Structure 1
Amino acid sequence: MAKAVSLKEVAASLVEHWSPRVVGEVDDAYIKVAKLQGSLTWHSHDNEDELFLVLKGHLRIELEHEAVELREGEMYVVPKGVRHNPVADSECHILLIERKSTLHTGDVVTDKTRSLDEQLRPLEAGTER
């Protein structure tokens, strides 16, 4: 039986910050949700664009010479090759749409970097993937 996915419920159920979870896929892209707080890291994705949509809260995406401020319901696409650093001064829930080949923090590895296997692990009980 087909089931709808509540993005807001899945995001709210996440325990870890900066640990995106795959909730669906469309062709060669993953649909992910994440709970953010603080700063991720400066990075880029050389061959993939990255879509950020704020489900709850406020997100600032720092770019080399400016910043994009996103409120609930707003989205921004970081073009491939553009260095960026997502920052959430307080807890924020987001939806990401990324090609399946997109590495979480590009070619930068930090303690916040999550592998694709980590992002694909089953969601907590009560949520659907």
Structure 2
Amino acid sequence: MSDPVDLHRSAALLDQAWRSKLVARIGDANLKLLRMDAQPYPAEMHAYAEGLLVLDGELRLDVAGRIVTVGAGGFYLVPAGTPHAVAPGSKGTLLILDV
């Protein structure tokens, strides 16, 4: 049996924004936590789908040239093979789910 993970406390302890920390694995999926600091993050693309759950704050995501805003409690699924970048102004805590 494992102990509960306080995601907000864990995020507060992260030493650097935009550097994710693996908090759990479920099957083949990784759950990674990171802090956003309003700075943009460059475009990337993955061969797998990526789930983005905003725990607090707001994520401004540029998905193939379209800005998608996801607020606290919101979830966005980036389909595999879709270019995406974080637009300026994104701030808060993000939980990333990927395989």
What pairs up with 1:1-129 in 2 under 5 angstroms?
Answer: 2-37=2-37, 38-45=39-46, 47-87=47-87, 89=89, 91-99=91-99
Structure 2 CA distance for partners of 1:24 and 1:50, relative to 1, 3 Å: same
Structure 2 CA distance for partners of 1:77 and 1:90, relative to 1, 3 Å: closer
Larger-Rg structure: 1
Number of paired residues?
A: 98
Q: Shift of the alpha carbon at 1:53?
A: 0.5
TM-score (norm 2): 0.91
Q: Shift of the alpha carbon at 1:88?
A: 5.0
**Partner Cα distance (2:25, 2:88) in 1:** 25
1:97 is matched by which residue type in structure 2? L
1:43 is matched by which residue type in structure 2? E
TM-score (norm 1): 0.71
1:62 is matched by which residue type in structure 2? D
Structure 2 CA distance for partners of 1:10 and 1:50, relative to 1, 3 Å: same
Q: Shift of the alpha carbon at 1:56?
A: 1.2
Tell me if the contact between 1:58 and 1:88 (Cα under 8 Å) persists in the aligned partners. Answer: no
Task: Tell me how large the CA RMSD over aligned residues is.
Answer: 1.4
Find runs of 4+ consecutive structure 1 residues off by over 6 angstroms. Answer: none
Tell me if the contact between 2:64 and 2:83 (Cα under 8 Å) persists in the aligned partners. Answer: yes
Structure (1/2) with the larger strand percentage: 2
